[in-house]
Chains A and B, each alone.
Chain A
Amino acid sequence: MLKIFELIGRYFILMGKVFSRPEKAAIYRRRIVYEMEALGIDSIGLTAIISVFIGAVITLQMCINLDSPFIPQSLIGYATRETMILEFSSTVVALILSGKVGSSIASEIGTMRITEQIDALEIMGVNSASYLILPKIVAAVFFFPLLTILSIGIGILGGWAIAYLTGIMIPDDYVSGLLLDFKPYSIVYSLIKTAVFAYIITSVSAFYGYYAKGNSLEVGAASTRAVVVSSVVIMIFNLILTQILLI
């Protein structure tokens, strides 16, 4: 138990360093753009592929399980939309990105730690925590919500495509379901969750990388720990945010 408190304490001390005044804003701007490409743009492909298939599978399963003359088919479009917006495109995509982006951040920073690159920055008088971690957090917090919007769009499109291609339901019913009882706040809720998850993924992964010790085995272990812990923290915050924002 004491160890968990020590860990949380170290995390907040690191975040204190991360959010201290940056050395030179221009350098940070350049790094944020670089990180947006590395963490965000490079994740578009994975997000798009997973979203289109999940959207299609949700529609298929709804068609199979809601096969009743008493249930209008438009509800399938409605359910697909709600599932994509409320949970899949924010929470599940965040869990997937914690695997891709989180492990990449932890191993990148961990390798920099064990090869003394972080020491080299410190010697130059650079706040290494802020220089390395802050651009990643800012880039992810601003870019991941765009991935969520993309995922919602592509997932819904995937559902429509499977309806159209297999003829399992009438595509027009699917579209009318999409327009049924739409609450724009659901999108806001989803984007807020994604921004929080983006912060969790980047900061927790960076934390484990920054304090990596020893050799490449330790970097691998730090990377695994980063993914596991950020996934668990995402699930906890999913519950907390749903309670706060929806109920």
Chain B
Amino acid sequence: MAVQFSEEKLNKVNEIIARYPAGKQKSALIPVLHLAQESFGGWLSADTMDYVAGLLQIEPIEVYEVATFYSMFNLQPVGKYLFEVCQTGPCMLRGSDDIIHYIKEKLGIKIGETTPDGLFTLKTVECLGACGYAPMMQLGKFFKEHLTKEKVDQIIADCRAQANN
């Protein structure tokens, strides 16, 4: 399948490029990669990155450099729901290790793995800036905070229900 933004998304790309001075369209790279990741299955394939390079008129290597540097860009396919659980100091103090352990058991996967049905991927991440509402994780665009085992159960059930609809 050829990688191609919809017309609406192409307009968005042009709107982003227009934020920067003429000739500085490379500045749009990170926002456009975010858009690409959202649009093409939650990860960045080499084809996707090459496509973005073409859009911004920069070399593919310039895109690879950036995509491999920032932790939010997935360079491998991930599940439909990506659980990014924080494990840094302040979350650890509030029991993030227990939450990670519980999710591992509940989903039957290790950190970095995806469930066989392709629904869930578990990742541990470093501080996401929700230390006062710990333990927490990022799920898509939003944070899930004050996690407990019951809340994790609910989140997983909600994801399953949503996927079945």
Partners in one complex: no
